[in-house]
Chains A and B, each alone.
Chain A
Amino acid sequence: MKVAIINYGMGNLGSVRRALAELHAEAFIADHPGALWDAQHIVLPGVGSFAEGSARLHADGWDEALRKQVIEHRKPILGICLGMQLLASQGEEGGSSRGLNLIPGKVARLDTLGCRERVPHAGWNDVEVVSTHPLFAHIGNETDFYFVHSYVFCAQPEHVLATCKYGVSFAAAVGEGHVFGTQFHPEKSSKAGHRLLRNFLEYGSC
């Protein structure tokens, strides 16, 4: 299976590619929007600020290409960390800016939501899987995943697949149809993360 990892200048692309290769996926770095045609699945990684990520997605034509591939051609997509946040309608980091609007909601800083813990939220935290979903197949409740972020995706309850508690409860994973996002880093979450990535690769391909 061919998996495109979007290179919009904002990601730990190397880590994501290695994790997917470990699962025997044919993962490649997509350097331009046209490369998405070759992929069956798409991963939108992300390390950085929302405003910068959003600017790059819109300036380089990724938004239009993603809309076509994900909405028209129904290719499954997984957004990771900032990549998940960019699936939202709007973000506040680095000034208000628009996201890809693939899953409705906005992105806000943890402490503006009432979190009184140390921010960034960095380290392993357990997640609660709120609904049975193929993305979390064989992954039990209270499994630890690796998080490192200061902002969270405030999604509608029906789009929240898993939650995490850190001062406040927030969306650890979101999903609508074949569009998914994880606030944690599955590519860095060792065995649990590999299981989730495998679930994503298996989604819609059997």
Chain B
Amino acid sequence: MLKVRVIPTLLWKNLGLVKGVGFNSWRRVGSVLPSIKVYNMRDVDELILVDINASQDQQAPDHDSVSDFSDECFVPLTVGGGINSVDHIVHLLKAGADKICLNSAAYDDPSLIDRAAAHFGAQCVIASIDARQMEPGRYECFSHAGTRATGKDPISWARELADRGAGEILITSIDLDGTMQGYDLRLVSSITQAVAIPVIASGGAGSYQDMVLAVKEAGASAVAAASMFHFTEQTPAEAKRHLQQAGIPVRRNFVETD
């Protein structure tokens, strides 16, 4: 049986680990490398690493840093931020990324998804959507770390990304991001119903119960969180224990047999 993944999201800016609220007012919360070491030691299911600088300022991904980070990481590592060509992806995979996450560049040139999927396989390509609620029940996708409106609605955009070959969708609520008030279940569930590929819920997780709801009520295949792991005592391991108690399958720790 496939297990539901609990994925810490690490945002990095100038080598510092940061976290904002509503994609704004970034706060430094530590250094990237030590955090990756801790998460690797604690055997998390997967990590998502996003370079905020590259994303906001349209810089090329910093693959040297990624190479340092992946030296410490023996669990699946997804890297995002500033990727706008197949060449960028080649370098990131060589540096140790296992999957890559595309966001802003896909709006400018949606065929990048097709080309990435054709070259590296759909399983390597996570398409990330950052959405803001414009009026009750109506959402719009934003690019460049939430700074630019795109005019696209998340449901049809998610369908297009999936049709073009994305392997997973990472859906983030800009409004709830960093608030720890819970995922936007309506948004997440609109995406899980729209596509047949796995969907990762992101933005707003503040408690283990929020994660249970994202899976049970919104149909997420995985749950991502940042603030609740940075700013509270809650951990991915405890989150998994909680999910399991709620009847959701999670990965068990490996113990060698005789």
Contact = CB atoms under 8 A, between A and B. Distances in A.
10 contacts: A47-B121, A122-B167, A123-B46, A123-B198, A124-B3, A138-B258, A146-B46, A148-B167, A150-B122, A165-B1
Size bracket, chain A contacts: 35 or more
A121 B2 contact: yes
A41 B198 CA distance: 35
A123 B221 contact: yes
A126 B96 contact: no
Contacts of B95: 14
Contact of B74 (A22, A117, A142, A143): A22
Nearest to B257: A140
Given A18-B74, A148-B123, A125 B256 contact: no
Contacts of B43: 190-191
Given A22-B74, A49-B118, A14 B123 contact: no
A148 B77 CA distance: 12
Interface of B: 1-5, 43, 45-46, 67, 70-71, 74-77, 93-99, 118-124, 167-168, 196-198, 221-222, 251-258
A187 B70 CA distance: 12
Majority secondary structure of chain A interface residues (helix, strand, loop or mixed): mixed
Q: 6 tightest A-B contacts by CB? A: A14-B96, A192-B254, A124-B251, A140-B257, A148-B123, A120-B123
Interface in A117-167: 117-126, 138-140, 142-144, 146, 148-150, 165-166
Contact of A18 (B4, B71, B196): B71
A146 B76 contact: yes
B197 A144 contact: no
A94 B222 CA distance: 28
A149 B197 CA distance: 12
A188 B123 CA distance: 14
Nearest to A165: B1
A47 B120 contact: yes
Contacts of A13: 94
A201 to B, nearest CB: 16
A82 B75 CA distance: 18
Given A118-B196, A144-B254, A188-B98, A123 B67 contact: no
A120 B99 contact: no
A119 B199 CA distance: 11
A96 interface: no
A148 B166 CA distance: 13
Given A122-B168, A139-B257, A188-B74, A117 B2 contact: yes
B2 to A, nearest CB: 5
B2 A166 contact: yes
A106 interface: no
A12 B74 CA distance: 12
B257 A18 contact: no
B164 to A, nearest CB: 14
A119 B255 CA distance: 29
A52 interface: yes
Contact of B123 (A15, A52, A122, A166): A122
